Amino acid sequence: MTEITAASPADTSPRTDSASRATARTAESAFNTLIRSQYGVLSAAQAAAHGLPHETLRQRIARGLWQRLLPGVYVLQCGPPSTLQRAIGALLYAGAGSMLSGPAALAEHGLAVPRGPVSGAAAAPPPGPQSALPSVPQFPPPSGPQPGPQFDVLVPHRVRRQNIPGVRIIRTTHLPEPVERGPLRLAPLAKAVVDSCLAAVEGGDAAGAEALVVSALDDGRVGITELEEELGNAPRRFSGVLRAQLARLRAAARDAAATRLLGALATTGPFGSLRNVAVYERQRRVARVPALWPTRAVAVTVDAPDHEIRTLSGYGFAVVQIASQRVAQDLPGVLREVRAVLMERPEATLPTAISLLPRAPAGAAPARPPRPTLTVSVLSAQRVLTASSPARTGDASVLPRGGTGQT
């Protein structure tokens, strides 16, 4: 790629001084730096801003020295453009604030994408002579007359760009902060995963979308929470499959974390809790918590939805909110937090409208008998239970038939 000198009207004035020449040299240097940083890709707006006339662009393209890559975007070489140059061109076409998403962004992030229609790209081979980045999305050769790979590009919702061959525009009102990677701007990994999955479902590859979610979670750099947040900001169309899968994965993670937490509570304390408690307001179940201390009105939740936490707090419970990921990473810290809350809470009385129905999980190891000092408080809680609601009983329930709990 040769150095470019921005054309400008000749100054024939005898008063042209060294300052003017220095200014011209500085402008030319900045222009060449821009071209090098974009690997020979240039937009018409950038060319005009640096004094390169459109007629010069037209003539060099007509002579085969340069090429028109996309509408208003040019590559300043006669050979075929690389995938990296096409990606830069897609961003220049989309304009300021745009960023790559979808399979191209996944490949640049280094995520192992399952083979199949969802991937849109093969695993990236070692960079060739046309690629200057350590990880540039590489695609298999096009099977038809397509000019190259397709890039999904996120743009602000106000931007009016049209889909063209090789570039699919995704408008959004929730534009994330881009990840800078050399000359490329990438959507965060979670956003790229969600966009890739939605595109896969739209193309009829629901199985590939589910495989991509599993691959992303196994990678460890994104979690269910990040994917749920990005999906919440995404259009609802084509999102049903992904929402259902994340709900199943969330439920499985929550159950596994709750089982582990209950086992730790049973073996190391604090004791006196009711396990797997369903909380009812009269006939309506309002929450389900892994552990609850009725004499202290303390409830421990694992990945509970916000409305359950608000409801429990409204009834006077001190809610210890635990994330399933934290149970896996810092179980001793979780137990210390629960003990601290119990130590700080005074004796409590639950509202008369609240019913508690505890059940031990199937196959769970029996809990160690409570310490004598706490047995009295648990039995006291049982003695003041009243019978003011229809029967809700179970094998592990501490309530008399038809009982409503009040301590």
Residue 80, SS3 per DSSP: coil
Q: At what angle do helices 102-109 and 189-202 cross, to 10 degrees?
A: 140
| Domain range list for the chain | 19-75, 83-139+147-238, 269-383
DSSP 225-268: HHHHHHHHHS-STT-HHHHHHHHHHHHHHHHHHHHHHHHHHHHH
- What are the start-end ranges of the E strands in 219-373? 274-281, 284-293, 298-302, 318-322, 354-358
Nearest to 66 by CA among 4, 152, 155, 159: 4
31: region left, alpha or beta (phi > 0 left; psi from -120 to 50 alpha):
alpha
Angle at 177 (CA atoms; ends 173, 178), nearest 5 degrees: 110
- Between CA 189 and CA 289 the distance in angstroms is 32
Amino acid at 406: Q
164 DSSP assignment: B
Q: How many CB atoms lie within 10 A of CB 240?
A: 11
pLDDT at 17 (0 to 100): 66
Structure tokens at 224: 């269910």
Q: Check if the beta carbon of residue 66 is closer than 8 Å to that of residue 76.
A: yes
Angle made by CA atoms 159, 118, 138, in degrees to the nearest 5: 80
Q: How far is 273 from 296, CA to CA, in rounded Å?
A: 10
Taking phi over 0 as left and psi of -120 to 50 as alpha, with beta for the rest, 269 belongs to left
Q: Which residues contact 163 (CB under 8 A, 6 or more apart)?
A: 169
Dihedrals φ, ψ of 185, to 5°? -115, 125
Q: What pLDDT shows up at residue 53?
A: 86
pLDDT of the chain, 407 residues: tens digit per residue: 555 654 444 455 555 566 667 666 777 788 888 899 999 999 999 999 888 888 888 999 999 999 999 999 999 998 899 999 999 999 999 998 999 999 999 999 998 777 655 544 433 433 333 333 333 333 333 333 345 678 999 999 998 889 999 999 999 989 999 999 989 999 999 999 999 999 999 989 999 999 999 999 988 899 898 999 999 888 888 899 999 999 999 889 888 988 888 888 877 767 677 888 889 988 888 888 888 888 888 889 998 888 889 888 888 888 999 888 888 888 889 898 888 888 888 887 777 788 888 775 544 444 443 343 333 233 333 333 333 333 333 333 333 333 333 33
Which tokens is 391 given? Answer: 């029967």
pLDDT score for 374: 33
DSSP state of 36: H
- Burial class, 42, CB count within 10 angstroms (exposed 0-12 / middle 13-18 / buried 19+): buried
CB 357 within 8 A of CB 339: no
CB-CB contact of 7 with 39 (8 Å): no
pLDDT value at residue 118: 57
What pLDDT, on the 0 to 100 scale, is given for residue 23? 67
The SS3 assignment for 153 reads strand
The pLDDT value recorded for residue 186 is 95
